[in-house]
Amino acid sequence: MDPMDAIKQTYFQECDELLAALEEGLLALEAGEGDSDTINAVFRAVHSVKGGAGAFGFEAMVAFAHVFETALDLMRSGKLAPDNDVLKIMLRASDVLGDHVQAAKGEGVVDNARERAMLEELEALTNADAPVPRAAAQADAPAGDEWGFTPMKFEFDAPAPSGWRLVMRPSPAMYAKGHDALLFLRELERLGEITVTLDASALPDLGALTAETPYLNWIVELPADVSEAAIRDVFDFVGEDCPIELTRDEPPAPAALDLDAFLSAPTLEPQSPVDAPAPVVADVHEDKAVSAAEKSGAKGVAAASGATIRVDLERVDRMIDLVGELVINQAMLAQRVAESGAGRSSTIAMGLDELEQLTREIQDSVMAIRAQPVKSVFQRMPRLVREIASATGKQVRLVMEGEATEVDKTVIERLSDPITHMLRNAIDHGLETPEERAEAGKPEEGAVRLAALHRSGRIVIEVSDDGKGINRPRVRDIAVKKGLIAPDANLTDDEIDNLIFLPGFSTASAVSNISGRGVGMDVVKRSIQALGGRISISSQPGKGSTFTLSLPLTLAVLDGMVITAGEQTLVAPLTAIVETLRPKPDEVRPLGPTGAVLAVRGGYVPLIDIAVALGQREKAADPTKGVVLLVDTEAGGRAALVADEIQGQRQVVIKSLEANYQRVDGVAAATILGDGRVALILDVDTVVEKRLNERHAPFAKAS
């Protein structure tokens, strides 16, 4: 790869991070959770994007970012209040800046009309006639004590240190990269009161001027209490593109104290507060240089303790593939050793046990490299909620929990669309209007909760609302009218709730930009199933609904139980299995002509023959002669899966069956066993759902 292309790719990766930080900061300001540091971080994000764009010649991006940056600089200086109207403009501007980044990548184009409208709004902010003044800090004057004495400050003749003299000489490269000398002067002004002098001595005659050559330099005088580190930090971003000369005169030696003269001075008389002259108070400035140096040191320590590197994702994927092959080869070696008759106490068997443990540790470490917090997905949702609430005329408060929950990057990348659909559904269909909520005795502002948590080796995403819940009679009527179910179908509440996942189903009375076309929730279900996950609904009329997504933490490996059902060798995910047992004859009870249930601890669970469910045999086997896997599902509760025998428990590598063959109902993926055979990984939820639905013939036939 061309070195410049490699640098450009790194810049685009940084742009993605900067745009995410920009949006996060603006949302924090909109929620009232931001401060001056947040505003500075937002400004730096746009400034950094602009600087890189100038280096690579993305002129259109530089031009837009410059106007955006100017508006943010006014916000930093306190001349522009970060109110809701301003922040809405800033958020839309961040979208346009993102479009510029995508266009620079070659992955899209910028809508010129949208950009022009955005520039007009930003320029209107920068040209506002009534800027909001920034509150000036007031020092409290010392007051007299209870006796009327005013504290006095004695100072010896110690000479004050001389101030700083800075000469700033911008280079052509600085301007070519989109930097502005005015912004550096404003940054210096934040360190204290400064005096700026323009040095135009290098300016030639008009005929000798060239557009690319900077002729103007600046001489800046800064207070003595500003440290050198703080001044140099201002120019740290540009480096050699803006050389500076920083000098400071050494203070003269302090004069010796004449002790005799001091002791012979007249006695000081106490003064009343009324007659006392105004006390001389030294002008105290916060040592911003020291704080900056301390922060720099803290960052250095943090960097040393938690240093990071940027690695191409393809390399990580390749490493994961190799670890998968290592797992398969370790299983093959174990199989060969077992077939050779070597005992568990043999040195070869013990060495394989150590290899298995080491392989698992390597696999866990590699998986941790790809693990990312779901925050990257969650942070996009507040804007979505605000826009949908505005479009529907509803008041919505979004509560997010578990943003630090980590999951595999592949899963995260495919979570955005399902969560977006569910949030739209919760606001548009779940929440009532403010008037309806007031009549129902609820707060006018509805609450939508988005949460992530780990449960039983899986990641669970919950989207809940405190709205009206699912209107089951209406859902059933719509399904009948659309021909999705038979009119005489006998459905439970859970089965009625799950009708909303059928293709073509919609409860919207009219088509809008948000919903009404009968697509959305069925797409959500297919997307989640493609990830090896499942989705369930819990709803209470008048109180709200909760959608629960359950997904594997990784799409690379899983711990499974190898079983035999019919003529097939299958792998059941260990996270779905509660226990295994061999039922007694009196624990199996017939149900209907072909069904049966298993009595377990005072309750009954349906018995499902895996081989029958997968079409391997027509008649269910005697469960008392096989083994039963008691499994827990998201939608159907618990069920008992009947298998012929259990071969063992092991870690297997997931191979996509749909990508290499085709989708098979009841099968989530495939794997390679230690003897080289291909085994199918069981989709427990689909098997249970499919088998139970077959016992509701009208419903199954119609759906």
pLDDT tens figures, 652-683: 878 777 777 777 878 888 888 877 788 888 88
Dist CA 218 CA 246 (whole Å): 12
Residue scoring higher pLDDT (322 or 556): 322
Confidence class for position 513, pLDDT limits 50, 70, 90:
very low
Q: What is the pLDDT of residue 295?
A: 40
Per residue in 9-19, pLDDT (tens digit) is 888 888 888 88
Alpha-carbon gap, residue 388 to 403, rounded angstroms:
22
Q: Is residue 490 within 8 Å of 480, Cβ to Cβ?
A: no
Residue 499 has a pLDDT of 83
- For position 465, what pLDDT does the model report? 92
pLDDT-derived band at 634, boundaries 50, 70, 90 = low
Predicted local distance difference test score (pLDDT) of residue 466: 92
State the pairing for strand pair 595-600/588-591. antiparallel
pLDDT, tens only, 184-236: 888 888 788 888 888 888 888 887 888 778 888 889 888 888 878 788 878 87
Out of 74-78, 352-356, 414-418, 578-582, the most confident range is 578-582
CA distances from 634 to 184, 272, 533, 668 (A): 58, 81, 10, 16
What is the pLDDT at residue 666?
81
**pLDDT at res. 2:** 60
Place 278 in a pLDDT band, splitting at 50, 70 and 90: very low
Amino acid present at 686: T
- How much is the pLDDT for 251? 53
The 10 Å Cβ neighbour count of residue 147 is 6
The pLDDT score that the predictor gives to residue 157 is: 45
Q: H/E element holding 292? A: helix 288-305
Q: Is the pLDDT of residue 306 over 60?
A: no
Element (H, E) at 536: strand 534-540
* Whole-number average pLDDT of the chain: 77
Q: Which amino acid is at 658?
A: E
pLDDT of residue 520: 60
pLDDT of residue 249: 59
CA pair distance 626, 624, nearest whole angstrom: 6
Residue 450 reports pLDDT greater than 90? yes
Residues 476, 494: Cα–Cα separation, whole Å: 12
Residues 6 or more apart from 699 whose CB is under 8 A from it? Answer: 485, 486, 489, 490, 491, 495, 693
Position with higher pLDDT, 343 vs 184: 184
**What is the rounded distance in angstroms from the CA atom of residue 472 to the CA atom of residue 24?**
39
Which percentage of the chain shows pLDDT scores above 70?
80
pLDDT band (50, 70, 90) for residue 555: low
Average pLDDT over residues 429-443: 90
Segment 361-409, tens digit of pLDDT = 887 787 778 788 888 888 888 878 888 888 888 989 889 999 888 888 7
List pLDDT tens digits, range 532-548: 777 888 888 888 999 98
Mean pLDDT of the region 277-294: 37
Confidence (pTM)? 0.58
* Amino acid in the structure at residue 2: D
Average pLDDT estimate for 47-58: 84
* Residue 457 contacts residue 557 (beta carbons within 8 Å): no
**Which pLDDT band, with edges at 50, 70 and 90, does 294 fall under?**
very low
Q: Dump pLDDT digits (tens) for 24-41.
A: 888 888 878 778 888 888
Q: What is the pLDDT averaged over residues 594-618?
A: 86
Percent of the chain residues topping a pLDDT of 90: 4
Q: Which pairs with CB-CB distance under 8 Å and at least 24 residues apart come from 277-286?
A: 279/141, 279/142, 279/150, 279/151, 279/152, 279/153, 280/153, 281/139, 281/141, 281/142, 281/153, 282/153, 284/139, 285/192, 285/223, 285/225, 285/226
* Stretch 582-599: mean pLDDT: 85
Cβ atoms of residues 444 and 395 within 8 Å: yes
Residue type, 219: I
Give tens-digit pLDDT for 96-110: 998 899 898 888 888
Buried residues in 664-693 as b, exposed as e (16+ CB within 10 A): bebbbbbbbbbeeeebbbbbbbbbbbbbbb
